[in-house]
Amino acid sequence: MSKPKVAFFDFTCCEGCQIEFTNYGDATFLELLKHVDVVEFREAMSEKTTDPIDIAFVEGSFSREADRARLESIRERAGIVIAYGECATTGGINALKNHQTDYKEFVYGDAAQQPQLASQKALPISAAIKVDYNAYGCPVNKYEVLQIVFHLLHGKEPVIPNYPVCVECKRRETVCRFDEGDYCMGMVARAGCTAPCPAFGIPCEACRGFVDQPNVRALEKVLVERAGFSQKRAAEKALMFTANELEALS
Amino acid sequence: MTTTARIRVDHVTRVEGHGNIVVNVTGGVVEKCEWQVPEAPRFFESMVRGRHYSEVARITSRICGICAIGHTLASVKTTENALGIAVSQQSWKFRELIKHAENFDSHVLHINILVAPDLLGAPSVFPLVATHADVVARALRLKRLAHEWGSLIGGRTTHPMAIVPGGMAAVPTTKELKKLKEQLLAAVPDLEAAVATVKALAPNVPAFDRPTEYLALSNDKDYGLYDGLIQSVLPDGTKQRYAVEDYRKVTNEFVVPQSTAKYTKNKLSSYAAGALARFNNNYDKLHPEAKKVAEELGIQPICTNPYMNTVAQVVEIVSDVYESLRLLDELIDAGVRLEPLVPPTKYGGGVGATEVPRGILFHEYSYDEEGMCRSANCVIPTNQNHNNIQHDFNELVPQLIEQDKSEKEMELALEMLVRSYDPCISCSTHYLDVKFVR
């Protein structure tokens, strides 16, 4: 049996999730290459293909109508499409501009209306094409990505957590950020990252998006009552990584 | 002489982000010769408005997946300048240490995964797994080392966590630092082998000299990777320093009709930033081991061949390892402890700069009395290099025509030139006029 063909594509993003692929070390990476054939990966290779692909990893947000056709052609060629990283799964950090109306003028001044600067709301790629699986996170958890690939190679459904990050902090016995006088989004944030941020002394910013049915009102209340946020700051907190999900809830 | 060439490379491969090359030659005359940047704009300077100072670096880190550590460091330094915060010596050293990790990480990726295939005549690193297994395995080992080195200090390398305004939110234990020291020492043979590989491939580096101005941070103490004043060096060796606050007077961003990317220039028609610019500015401050490697690889200041940027990166990774061994000894000797974050003493505006793998990076913010960001400006190294790349193109293409190169050879020479700058185009997110509100 020939090895499954894997390809990487990027849209509006920092390409950091692709970089994570180079961080496995020689043993894991070379072993992985025994099981898949990487056929296209612009950031790392010049080879290109127009052949069908078994698994397409698509990084980046859908933020320009001009990108729709390229997304559609990837979908047509690919057996499985994985939204790879938070920009692709939810819009990620790019959606932090979605509530602003003057972002183009602010950054580009008088030139804001030039056509090459066209930009719409930053959306997940699922706004343009059907997505089969999501690899969440900013950046992705590279070990979860391996799990997803292994499951797919064995014909199994990947298991993606749908419980909050608080569970993972308890598991690794990290002191709650609120008890350290900080704030945190962990109680509404999707786990699966193993909660590294609170363990390194910073709050969870929900970079993997919300768990299903997040209690956003309670989040705001806790941010005001326990972290001393103003009502405005509490209400705008979730715009950082979860702007599109927040909008969908309201 | 080449009479006709139609070169159109959409989305140059093995670079971070999206760039195009367009060259038209008819009857031996260059009709069009452009380096274009079609990257989707991302509007980070607008995004940070209204965000709390503690969040700003976590947002700007997302500008770039390769220089996330650099964007985080430039951001916290800027915020600290704006809020009147001076961090401890220990925090400073941890930041220098993670700066070296990033430089090493990014350069190892660029030298081994992005450039080496050109020098070995392969389209990417993947065919090299079969033909040059040892080179690939070594590259992956060094890349992994860099990842563990940066992660020990920052929590991870793509969007590090522990670097925050006021200091470090977490610090490794002395035991962990000792282990890192052992890892770095154990990597020296791999490092030496990598230098030998590049030395063997050095004859494949194209010969092309175009003297230009080189800009880098510089100080009297060290190589200036983390901190310093802005310094310019001209091809004749004339140096001048500027305060970081005066970055607008040095970068002089301007718009040209043939490009959407904003250009920069200072004393000459363009300037270069990056490893070669640092090497040309700060050669005297290089670690002796790195100087030895520079000599071995046949590079000396002032080197005016842009393709040699990759060789300068090799010199820098040697410096990164030896400077880090020194920093580790200092930290281990002093004993490490978790320090409380230094709180703000004022709210206002500030500028900060650091060297990232691709060159000098500037951030500027202003904050209101609640510590919320009011405005931001970021001038990114790749943006500063666009103008220099275009000027290189202008001079290189006629030379290639003169040398009777085929279309394919010209295309490869231009792609290799772009790649030698290691451009990070998804970084260079703003191209035109930037409004700054105080």
CATH code matching the domain that covers A5-153, chosen among 3.20.20.140, 3.40.50.700, 3.40.50.1000, 1.25.40.10: 3.40.50.700
pLDDT at B308 over 90: yes
β-sheet bridge partners, residue B213: B271
Judged by CB atoms closer than 8 Å, whether chains meet at A47 and B147 is answered as no
Tell me which of A158 and B17 has the higher pLDDT. Answer: A158
Mean per-residue pLDDT for B41-49? 85
pTM (2 decimals)? 0.94
pLDDT at site A164: 98
Angstrom CA distances, B158 to A16, B106, B154, B426, stand at 6, 11, 9, 14
Q: Write out the two tokens for A132.
A: 């089969």
Nearest to B181 by CA among B334, B292, B322: B322
- Residue B98 has phi, psi (to 5 degrees) of -75, -25
pLDDT at residue B433 tops 70 = no
Cα→Cα distances B200→B8, B234, B301, Å: 32, 30, 21
Q: Where are the domains of chain A?
A: 5-153, 165-249
Q: Cα separation of A207 and A87, whole Å? A: 10
Question: Do you know the residue count of chain A?
Answer: 250
In B170-281, which ranges are E strands? 213-218, 229-233, 239-242, 271-272
Write down the domain spans for chain B. Answer: 44-420
Chain-centroid distance of CA B174 in Å reads: 30
Residue B432 has pLDDT above 70, yes or no: no
The pLDDT of residue B186 is 98
Give contacts of B422 with chain A, Cβ < 8 Å. Answer: none
Per DSSP, the residues of B320-332 read HHHHHHHHHHHHH
**Structural contact between residues B5 and B408, judged by C-beta atoms closer than 8 angstroms:** no
Contact at CB, A17 and B433, closer than 8 angstroms: no
Which residues of chain B have a CB within 8 Å of the CB of A11? 40
Is B374 in the A-facing interface, judged by CB distances under 8 Å?
A: no
Angle ∠(B308,B312,B314) on CA atoms, nearest 5: 115
Q: DSSP H helical segments within A78-162, as ranges?
A: 86-89, 103-108, 142-153
Under DSSP, the state recorded for B263 is B
In the three-class reduction of DSSP (H, G, I as helix; E, B as strand; rest coil), residue B231 is classed as strand
pLDDT band, very low/low/confident/very high, at B48 (cuts 50, 70, 90): very high
Distance CA A103, CA B49 (A): 10
Cα–Cα distance for residue pair B332/B326, rounded to 1 Å: 10
**Diameter over CA atoms, chain A:** 60
B358 lies within 8 A of chain A by CB:
no
Tell me which residues of chain B, numbers 249 to 308, contact chain A at a CB-CB cutoff of 8 Å.
255, 260
Do the Cβ atoms of B52 and A43 come within 8 Å? Answer: no
CA B357 to chain A, closest CA, distance in angstroms equals: 15
Alpha-carbon gap, residue A187 to A215, rounded angstroms:
9
Question: For the residues of A134-146, what is the DSSP string, one character each?
Answer: EE-BTTB-HHHHH
- Which helix or strand (DSSP H or E) is residue B361 part of? strand B359-367
**Nearest Cα residue to A62 out of A16, A126, A132, A18:** A126
Q: What are the strands of the beta sheet with B20-26, ordered from one edge?
A: B5-9, B20-26, B29-36
The two tokens of residue B44 are 């980070």
The whole-number pLDDT of residue B125 equals 86
Q: Does B175 touch chain A (CB under 8 A)?
A: no
Q: What is the arithmetic mean of pLDDT over B163-183? A: 98
pLDDT tens digits, one per residue of B342-379: 999 999 999 999 999 999 999 999 999 999 999 999 99
pLDDT in tens, chain A (250 residues): 589 999 999 998 888 999 998 899 999 999 999 999 999 988 778 788 888 999 999 999 999 898 999 999 999 999 999 999 999 999 999 999 898 888 777 777 776 777 666 668 899 999 999 999 999 999 999 999 999 999 999 999 999 999 999 999 999 999 999 999 999 999 999 999 999 999 999 999 999 999 999 999 999 999 999 999 999 999 999 999 999 999 999 8
Q: Among the listed ranges A101-105, B203-207, B396-400, which one has the minimum average pLDDT value? A: A101-105
- The burial of B312, by beta-carbon neighbours within 10 Å (0-12 exposed, 13-18 middle, 19 or more buried), is given as buried
Buried b (16+ CB within 10 A) or exposed e, A148-171: bbeebeeeeebebbeebbbebbee
Q: Alpha helix locations (H) across chain A? A: 16-20, 26-32, 68-77, 86-89, 103-108, 142-153, 165-171, 196-199, 216-227, 231-236, 239-249
Q: Which fold has domain B44-420?
A: Cytochrome-c3 Hydrogenase; chain B (1.10.645)
Given a contact cutoff of 8 angstroms between Cβ atoms, the answer to whether B376 and B45 are in contact is yes
User: In this predicted model, which residue has the larger pLDDT, B44 or B88?
Assistant: B88
The torsion angles phi and psi of B306, rounded to 5 degrees, stand at -60, -30
User: Does residue B429 carry a pLDDT above 50?
Assistant: no
Which residues in chain A have Cβ-Cβ distances shorter than 8 Å to B166? none
First-last CA distance in chain A: 49
Is pLDDT above 80 for B436?
no
Which tokens hold the place of B280? 């040309």
pLDDT score for A208: 98
**Is the model's pLDDT at B169 over the cut of 90?**
yes
Angle made by CA atoms A213, A62, A54, in degrees to the nearest 5:
90
Q: Which residues of A touch B112 (CB under 8 A)?
A: none
Mean of the per-residue pLDDT values for chain B?
Answer: 92
Q: Do residues A88 and A138 touch, judged by C-beta distance below 8 A?
A: no
At B124, is the secondary structure helix, strand, or coil? strand
pLDDT band for B426, please (50, 70, 90 cuts): low
- Report which DSSP code applies to A42: T
Tell me which of B331 and B205 has the higher pLDDT: B331
Residue A181: phi and psi, rounded to 5, are 85, 15
| pLDDT tens for each residue of B104-126 | 999 999 998 888 888 888 888 88
pLDDT, position A108 = 72
Closest approach of chain A CAs to the CA of B39, in angstroms? 8
SS3 call for B86: coil
What pLDDT digit, counting tens, does each position of B215-273 carry? 999 999 999 999 999 999 999 999 999 999 999 999 998 776 656 667 899 999 999 99
Dihedral pair phi/psi, residue B65, rounded to 5°: -80, -20
Give which of A32, A37, A68, A42 is closest to A52, Cα–Cα.
A37
pLDDT confidence band for B3 (50 / 70 / 90) = confident
Beta bridge partners of A78: A53
Sheet of B229-233, strand order: B239-242, B229-233, B213-218, B271-272
Look at B137 and A45 and tell me if their CB atoms are within 8 Å.
Answer: no
Token readout for B308 is 């040699």
**Which residues does A39 contact at the CB level (< 8 Å), separation at least 6?**
A5, A6, A7, A47, A49, A51, A53
CB contact under 8 A, B169 and A200: yes
- Interface membership of B369 toward A (CB under 8 Å): no
Q: For residue A19, which residues of chain B lie inside 8 Å, CB to CB?
A: 65-66, 109, 158
